[in-house]
């Protein structure tokens, strides 16, 4: 019933798709996202960063990774996470869309100046790597009483 409802078929959107294919052939896959909601190429794994007065929390959404193969380091307030994801691919298959990242990756995040690089914890559960970096005690806000 709904298969016949195609309001944009044969429209100028086909020209955009054709132009996109030609640009992809001309420039290669590059860093352009596959769609409007797709992250830019090289932005794997997706990351969320949040903070509280006591700590900074980093969440990496990296299902299928071996957590022991990850290299996590902090140097000069830069948190770096590197690793490799090996996705199963079948030989002889022509993919018309492939959103599963395969290969090495490296993500670097600038942390606030007040984090303590000696107080870092990392855990991996259900495909999510959670890194917690505590803030230094000397820079935490403290309440001053008036006497």
Question: What span, in angstroms and rounded, lies between the C-alpha atoms of 31 and 42?
Answer: 7
The per-residue pLDDT for 7 is: 54
Structure tokens at 113: 């100046």
The per-residue pLDDT for 1 is: 47
Q: Which domains does the chain carry? A: 8-41 (no CATH), 42-87+100-140 (2.60.40.790)
Q: What is the pTM of this model?
A: 0.64
Question: What span, in angstroms and rounded, lies between the C-alpha atoms of 11 and 140?
Answer: 59
Phi first, then psi: what are they for 36, rounded to 5°?
Answer: -65, -30
The per-residue pLDDT for 140 is: 63
- Cis bond upstream, residue 92 (ω within 30): no
- Report the chain's mean pLDDT, rounded to a whole number: 80
Q: Confidence band (pLDDT; 50, 70, 90) for 23?
A: confident
């Amino acid at each position: 019933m709904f298969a016949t409802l195609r309001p944009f078929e044969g429209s100028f959107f086909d020209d955009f798709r054709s132009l996109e294919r030609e640009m992809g052939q001309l420039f290669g896959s590059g860093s352009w996202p596959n769609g409007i909601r797709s992250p830019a190429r090289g932005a794997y794994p997706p990351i969320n960063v949040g903070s509280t007065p006591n700590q900074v929390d980093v969440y990496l959404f990296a299902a299928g990774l071996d957590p022991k193969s990850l290299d996590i380091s902090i140097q000069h307030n830069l948190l770096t996470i590197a690793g490799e994801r090996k996705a199963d691919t079948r030989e002889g298959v022509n993919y018309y869309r492939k959103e599963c990242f395969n290969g090495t990756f490296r993500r670097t995040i600038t942390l606030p100046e007040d984090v303590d690089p000696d107080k870092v914890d990392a855990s991996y559960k259900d495909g999510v790597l959670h890194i917690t970096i505590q803030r230094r005690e000397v820079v935490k806000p403290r309440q001053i009483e008036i006497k």
